[in-house]
Structure 1
Amino acid sequence: MPSAASVVQQRLKNLEEHLERENPILLRAVESFRELDQVAYDMFLLESDESYSNQIPWWPLIAVLGTFSAGKSTFINHYLGESLQRTGNQAVDDRFTVICYSGGESGQALPGVALDSDPRFPLYHISGSIEEVASGEGKRTDAYIQMQTCTSEHLRGRILVDSPGFDADAQRTAILRIVDHIIDLSDLVLVFFDARHPEPGAMRDTLKHLVAETIRRPDSGKFLYILNQIDAAGREDNPEDVVAAWQRALGEHGLTAGRFYTIYSPDVAVAIEDENIRRRFETKRDRDLTDIHARMQNVEIERAYRIVGAIEKTAKNIAEETVPLLSQALQRWRSRTLTVDAIVFVPLLVLFMLWSINTGQWHGLSYDPAWLQGLSTIKGAVPVLVVALVLAIGFVHFRIRRWAANGVLPWLRQRVQAEGIRGKVVEAFIANTRPLRSVLFASPIGWHSASQERINRVKLDCDTYIQKLNDQFTNPSGAAEVRKRATAAASAL
């Protein structure tokens, strides 16, 4: 049976083969993940069967979120050019559907385990996250997620995630956990609202989760807010009021900048009798759909930069967040341990010295060693007493160490959660407080000059990756065009 480490290395090798075909520039990025993994293994921040490379999907990911009956599935079907997802005015599916390209003659529906067990796809090991927030639900992965393959060329090289209707008041905690997980992984997030229900105030919690809690993110530029099925407002006396109501609602939750799209599907559009309104709606719809589709088509570029960003962020998190927090926790543990050691053992040492002085019968500067003669009678028992004393001291000391560590753990867990620090920081702390680890060591296990050098090397490599990506997609100097024209001129001569 292969070891956990060999399984991880095989996965990385498979990933390298994939990148060699799809995006050779990112091929070396796998080696950077190996460097980060080794640092994390040495510090007990990762299990031997884990890798930072498994924490991001390597295919570009587009998430489609929104309220019930907001037209998400209809939008996806129109984009793919085939009726893949079920549509309807009511909730037609309560599972997340991961849609990916298939070279076969027809698409296939696959169970949730296909996603939960494959590190190449999003939602890898999502069953563990579900279990954390809903005990027993982790075994029911198929009730939450599914995979759907598709033959549409629009899907080649990218993955779509269609979410069930989002209603923050009624959704289970497990569903919200998956939503947040998908948002973190995605390169582009389309957030849909239903223009047929022009009462955005009634959706306060939904707006809070999909708008207020996303616009403050450092990657807020990947969110597109879409008011769908706006054709239903074409029959209103003042259709612009519907759009204005939603814009005000989003503004109340902090969305005062960025694009706000208004679209509807041409395939299921409501007939608009007023010619002027119809033409105006169609023009706006086509322009917005063109922009949205362009962002979806270019998501591969965003994914390449995001992978490099994830590498650099992981390296910085280890050096600038995890190590300082772990060092601070160990300092707290060390101070508590040494303080209690002093409180317990210093008085005992003083009592022992006083007893020795009293037994030794000091008289001024003259010392009567007669008490040594009494000790000679128990001379054979001295080694046993010394060993027993050392064992007793050791037992008390290690009990104090464990008590001190348990006292620091709640503080550490709270800091990890509050600061959103990833990695097994608590497990690493426990490893650093094991009995064979001296309380006098200042640095965490595995954090030394070699590991710091690995981190610095990864950071420098990330700059190189970005430069190569820039060279592929940009040409500020126009040098390539100059060379091309010069070559053409030389050929003409």
Structure 2
Amino acid sequence: MADKTASKYLINLEKQFAAADPVLQKTARLFQELDQIEFDMGLIDSEESTARKTTWWPVISTLGGYSPAKSDFLARYLNSPLHTVRHKFTVLQYTPQAAGATLPGTALDADHRLPFYRIGQAMEQVLPGEGGKLNGHLELVTVNSPKLKGKLVIDTPVLSNTTENAVTAMLRKYVLDISDLVLVFTDLFEADAELNKAALTEIVAQQDSNKFVFVIDHSEIGLDPAKSQDIANAWQRRLAELGIHTGQFVVLSQNSDGAALDQRIANLASDRSYRVLATLQDSIRAIDDVILPEVEASLTTWKERCNATTLIVLGFIIMLALFAEIAVGILELIFDPIIGPAIAIALIALLTPMHLIVSRVHAKFIVKQLHKRQKQLNLTEDLAALFEKSQSFWRMLLPITDPVGKNKKNRKKLAGLIEQSKDLVQALNDQFSHTQQEYRHDLDAYAFEER
């Protein structure tokens, strides 16, 4: 097997976290090992990386309704006026330049370092024609605010009858999936029930992730702590009726100091690390749990169709032989010690290339089905490429349905990657319970064991 060159993306990640975050630096190396396994199986090409399945930036996203609460909060938090539109997904990124800039959605789709990389393909799958309308759904806004350093904010559009469709719902789900902190402004729940149904479903589905903070905006008035708690309790009961039972509640008022939100935002880097490690583990497990079973099932179907077609042709040849026996009598030739084996060899010589041709024809139909299945499963790995790589000459002739790469060697490698990722999660946990010196010692010990 050829060694896969580490993608520039992973190389840059390793450099970026070399001093700032040793856990993520080592995580990048594990992604590189996973890339090699998937490359050998044909699941990714030489320039791709499984590390791109999630963003490595700490991400805050916002959900809100028609009131200006969400935009007013962002302007206050960033201490900068924002010129964003209400119907687009807006990525806010730090810039050292005094004047910010608004860039089109294509800037996000083309940059593998940012969220929404290649999102146009996913949009096209959801709704044909929408993949070419990136700029109508997305924008990148740079802001000169120190609070954006080292993180991204994704401001989601307000719910609207005129803009809400399958693509918008898909993009909102994508944003919630990659976010480390989601600020849900309670005016969201004042919107039309049909409009906020999809957003509510996603919040309920992901509520155990501990990423949601429900923001109750009363910034126009002053509230004492007791009154703020009463308001939070009332909203807690209301959201419980909607199926939301977890999440932090924050009441904004003229005299609130925002300490609770500041603390959550201060923990973003750690939240990001846990998310990236979770993505790594999910990607490793997906090979055995999803990818190999899907391709193996397709190989089994393909074999059954090929064998059935070959048997039909063989049956036709046998029928011709029976007719020939009735007409002129050829059984004597078949049992002849010289002519009989020659006939068998000729039959094999005829059936073998025919079986190979039949196999390639059936494979084309299976490949089309695998492309559709890959989209349905939302996989970045190329299932069809693994299927095609599993069609060597002998695999076509012999009853082999295991895909290339399904072997003890790879199982051992994948199990090793899972264990190493668990060690990194433990090292991450130790940041909160050990001194910095002890934490460094644990990482050094992990690095020694890795070698």
Specify the TM-score bucket, using the shorter chain as the normaliser. Answer: 0.7 to 0.9
- Alpha-carbon distance in 2 for matches of 1:446, 1:359: 53
Are the structure 2 counterparts of residues 349 and 423 from structure 1 closer, same or farther at C-alpha, using a change threshold of 3 Å? same
Larger deviation, residues 313-322 vs 441-450:
441-450
**2:305 corresponds to 1:336:** yes
CA apart distance, 1:52: 0.9
Contact in 1 for aligned 2:173/2:202 (Cα 8 Å): no
Contact in 2 for aligned 1:70/1:228 (Cα 8 Å): no
Are the structure 2 counterparts of residues 464 and 168 from structure 1 closer, same or farther at C-alpha, using a change threshold of 3 Å? farther
Q: For residue 357 of structure 2, what is the amino acid of its counterpart?
A: F
Cross-structure match for 1:89 = none
Measured on the aligned residues, the alpha-carbon RMSD in Å equals 4.1
Are the structure 2 counterparts of residues 67 and 125 from structure 1 closer, same or farther at C-alpha, using a change threshold of 3 Å? same
- Alpha-carbon distance in 1 for matches of 2:178, 2:166: 19
Matches within 5 A, 1:221-370: 221-229=210-218, 250-263=239-252, 266=254, 282=255, 286=256, 289-349=258-318, 351-352=320-321, 355=324, 359=328
Contact in 2 for aligned 1:189/1:223 (Cα 8 Å): yes
1:207 to 192, 196, 200: 196
Any unmatched runs of 5+ in structure 2?
440-451
2:89 to 96, 101, 105: 96
Are the structure 2 counterparts of residues 258 and 241 from structure 1 closer, same or farther at C-alpha, using a change threshold of 3 Å? closer
Cross-structure match for 2:365 = 406
Q: For residue 312 of structure 2, what is the amino acid of its counterpart?
A: I
- Alpha-carbon distance in 2 for matches of 1:225, 1:169: 26
Larger deviation, residues 69-78 vs 307-316:
69-78
Relative to the length of structure 1, the TM-score reads 0.73
Are the structure 2 counterparts of residues 126 and 416 from structure 1 closer, same or farther at C-alpha, using a change threshold of 3 Å? closer
Could you report, residue by residue, the CA deviation over 1:311-357 in whole angstroms, capped at 9, with x for unpaired residues? 11110111222112221222222223223332332452364377469
- Alpha-carbon distance in 1 for matches of 2:213, 2:229: 20
Cross-structure match for 1:31 = 29
Cross-structure match for 1:428 = 386
Contact in 1 for aligned 2:7/2:48 (Cα 8 Å): no
- Alpha-carbon distance in 1 for matches of 2:220, 2:197: 26
Q: For residue 423 of structure 1, what is the amino acid of its counterpart?
A: E
Are the structure 2 counterparts of residues 397 and 356 from structure 1 closer, same or farther at C-alpha, using a change threshold of 3 Å? farther
Larger deviation, residues 303-312 vs 421-430:
421-430
Contact in 2 for aligned 1:226/1:260 (Cα 8 Å): yes
Larger radius of gyration: 1
CA apart distance, 1:184: 1.6
1:41 to 31, 39, 42: 39
What's the % identity of the aligned pairs? Answer: 27
Contact in 1 for aligned 2:106/2:134 (Cα 8 Å): yes
Residues paired across the two proteins, number: 429
Could you report, residue by residue, the CA deviation over 1:52-110 in whole angstroms, capped at 9, with x for unpaired residues? 11221111111112223352121111111222345xxxxx4322221122234443333
Contact in 1 for aligned 2:207/2:247 (Cα 8 Å): no
CA apart distance, 1:418: 6.2
Could you report, residue by residue, the CA deviation over 1:162-212 in whole angstroms, capped at 9, with x for unpaired residues? 1221337741333222222222211111222328xxx83x62134322222
2:102 to 100, 109, 120: 109
Instruction: Tell me the secondary structure at the aligned position of residue 99 of structure 1.
Output: strand
Any unmatched runs of 5+ in structure 1?
87-91, 267-281, 376-381, 482-493
Are the structure 2 counterparts of residues 423 and 215 from structure 1 closer, same or farther at C-alpha, using a change threshold of 3 Å? farther
CA apart distance, 1:479: 10
Relative to the length of structure 2, the TM-score reads 0.79
**2:434 corresponds to 1:475:** yes
- Alpha-carbon distance in 1 for matches of 2:275, 2:65: 27
